[in-house]
A and B are shown apart, each in its own frame.
Chain A
Amino acid sequence: MSRFSTDNELVAKEIISRYPLPKSALIPLLHLTQEQNGWVTDDAMLHIAELTGTTPAEVRGTGTFYEMFKFHPVGRYVINICSNLACQLLGAEDLLEHAERKLGVKVGGTTADGLFTLEDVECVAACTEAPALQVNYRYRLRVSVDDFDQLIDDIRSGSASDIPEHGTLSLVRQRIPADRGAGIVAPDDAREIPVWMARNEVAEQS
């Protein structure tokens, strides 16, 4: 059972409505299912295919290209330590080794209690604040080994309140109020010149 809940199915439909063609919503919907379940299940992909008028194979085909999507259960907190050059220059390797020891897992592994998954990732765009890491895509900057231990303790004790469970990205959803939208339609239904352009063309000609 990991199809969208009734609420999330409504969210999914709203997301689809923001694109000219439903297939464009595949990535946001894969995120939504991951927000609901922590990872992407076969049932979820079936449901996404139904909602977007695609095939389950297309959903999997797209999803497996992107490394944020997990097709097997991962820890409730995914720790991504950046090891790219800027972070490497300032101690990312030591931090990564320390993290492996502290958590008792190798890179890619999940702790036995299912709490943490450790990953070695590419540049997270915090290069001046090296070494940097993300926990469920929330930043921790200039992280020393002591900071790392503290972080793990905080998460275990429930005091790292800014970090939601794995899968949740933006805590704010975009909403386009029905009375405010300009009208999102398929390309075939938008062949006309936009009104303000037409008005200016007429003005130029006269």
Chain B
Amino acid sequence: MPTHAYVPHAPGYVDNDGPKIVTRRFPFEDSYTLQRFEATGGYDGLRSALGRTPAEVHSEVRDATLLGRGGAGFPAGIKWGFLPPGKYPYYLVVNGDESEPGTYKDRLLMERDPHQVIEGSLITCYALGLSQCFLYVRGEMALAQERIAQALNDAYAAGYVGRNILGSDFSVDITMSWGAGAYIVGEETALIESLEGNRGRPRLKPPFFPAAIGLYGQPTIVNNIETMANVPWLMTNSAEQYKTYGSESSPGTRMFAVSGHVRRPGVYEVEQGITTFRDLLYGDNFCQGIREGHELKMFVPGGGSAPWFFPEHLDLPLEARPVGAAGSMLGSGAIMVMDETTDAVKAALRLVRFYARESCGKCTPCREGTTWEERILQRIFDGEGRPSDIDLLLDVADNISPGPYPVASHPDEDLEAVPFPPRQTTICPLGPSSVAPITSTIRRFRHEYEAKITKRDSIPVSAGSVEVEL
């Protein structure tokens, strides 16, 4: 019953012909209720999991190559394997602190199908022997909090969560927690700090994964909402079936939010790998092209932190490896499309301003650097820029995330993901993310910068004082 159109009760979501895994209940107006969930196969995945050993459940997820949907794209089944044996208690933290510019899919999943997220979390707790689960919802998402809280209350009452789940010896509590407005808390160690009642600042690495040391110093699995939403389907179906969707290295579907200057912006669930940016941006089933009378200038392919793409990148598949090889990332599945009316400097300034505002202040290169980047961009935009400002911008950027740019591909790493750890002088990728809009626009639209620069340098700058490869 695809409607090929907006679903009025789920503003932003557009139904389409393709296979659906996580959004398949969205067309139902009451998709968030326990009644609808149960009537459409809900909690069958949990029942199926409880009929197997925890190790079998883990294998199914590992075999499916379920890639994390939070941004880094790390395979969930592999991450689950990092728990040190016997160091109980283990915790599960489900990351619903979705705040990356351009991104929203977790919000829809929480609002429209909260039981699916809960079911996935329960299966994960069963598979790994986790003692408690925390669903951390972004503070600003009041409706998502309501839907999750109601779903948890209903699920507790029905015996799906809590003590002796479905009459088995599996018991686990799920606590909904919520944030209070801080982008950085989406970073998993910052999220853990926040859950401990602290300022949400990332922890020093290593350990690189909280599976070693996480919440209260205990081994902790942190997974994204969309990742969890995939798990029930994997139990009622199989890893084998999952791999019939998408491509070999990026199986399954993914949710993409396409915003900006397209005719039909929206959130689409699409098959990874076999769909290209061109399909998504221009396909009749999807965004239907750039708005009337305009043409594509550039697009952000994976959230505000991703280096930008241009028309020549349109035929790349929506898959981590080729996008990484082309110097960017799919990140959080957010595509922001800009047509020829967009001022490249202004667009870059807006994203950089975001990082300057959201820097937690822990690392000097980010705290100072993002602020300087914003100031320099602002004065260029205001017509107060000096000829040396472009080099100065790149120099500041280089101090946060050492070039050469782009840095988003590590061909020697055999991970279908953004390089980990990224090249950075900071302990988390926030500061380095601010560099992407700057290098992307200077490489491509240097003339737009130069056209805005009208002042002269008051102090002569010696040539060659700044060495940044572009």
Point out residues on A near B: beta carbons under 8 Å. 18-21, 23-28, 30-31, 52, 54, 58, 61-63, 65-69, 80, 83-86, 88-90, 122-130, 134, 136-139, 141, 168-177, 179-184, 187, 190-197, 199-200, 203-204
Contacts and interface: CB of A to CB of B under 8 A. Distances in A.
A196 to B, nearest CB: 5
B281 to A, nearest CB: 13
A56 to B, nearest CB: 14
Interface string B91-115: 0000000111111100100000000
Contact of B104 (A65, A127, A134, A184): A127
B55 interface: yes
Closest 3 CB pairs of A and B: A66-B180, A125-B104, A127-B259
B218 A128 contact: no
Given A21-B216, A176-B156, A181-B163, A128 B54 contact: no
A30 B331 CA distance: 32
Given A138-B142, A181-B162, A27 B216 contact: no
Given A86-B259, A124-B140, A174 B181 contact: no
B175 A127 contact: no
A28 B139 contact: no
Nearest to B337: A89
B177 interface: yes
A105 B181 CA distance: 23
Nearest to A17: B175
Contact of B179 (A66, A85, A196): A66
Contacts, number: 244
B336 A86 contact: yes
Given A24-B197, A90-B260, A69 B180 contact: yes
B181 A27 contact: no
A86 B265 CA distance: 11
A128 B336 contact: no
Given A174-B152, A182-B172, A184-B132, A61 B199 contact: yes
Contact of A187 (B89, B101, B181, B258): B89
B265 A128 contact: yes
B465 interface: no
A30 B129 contact: no
Contacts of B202: none
Contacts of A83: 350
B357 interface: yes
A27 B179 contact: yes
B260 A86 contact: yes
Contacts of A130: 259-260, 265
B257 interface: yes
Contacts of A200: 53-55
B66 interface: no
B39 interface: no
Contact of B149 (A27, A67, A173): A173
Contacts of B168: 196
A174 B176 contact: yes
B146 A180 contact: no
Given A19-B175, A171-B146, 20 more contacts: A21-B196, A24-B195, A65-B199, A66-B180, A68-B179, A84-B354, A88-B346, A90-B260, A122-B183, A123-B100, A127-B102, A127-B260, A127-B334, A137-B141, A139-B11, A172-B149, A174-B152, A174-B176, A180-B159, A181-B163
B194 interface: yes
B178 A28 contact: yes
Contacts of B116: none
B138 interface: yes
Interface in B296-349: 300, 304, 334, 336, 338, 342, 346-347
B121 to A, nearest CB: 13
Interface string B108-151: 00000000000000000010011110000011111101100110
Contacts of A20: 132, 216
B401 interface: no
B216 A84 contact: no
Contact of B162 (A171, A176, A190): A176
A136 to B, nearest CB: 8
B463 interface: no
B258 A128 contact: yes
Given A85-B300, A176-B162, A199-B169, A27 B197 contact: yes
A169 B300 contact: no
13 contacts: A21-B197, A27-B178, A85-B351, A124-B140, A127-B103, A127-B259, A128-B257, A139-B11, A169-B145, A180-B163, A182-B173, A191-B88, A196-B129
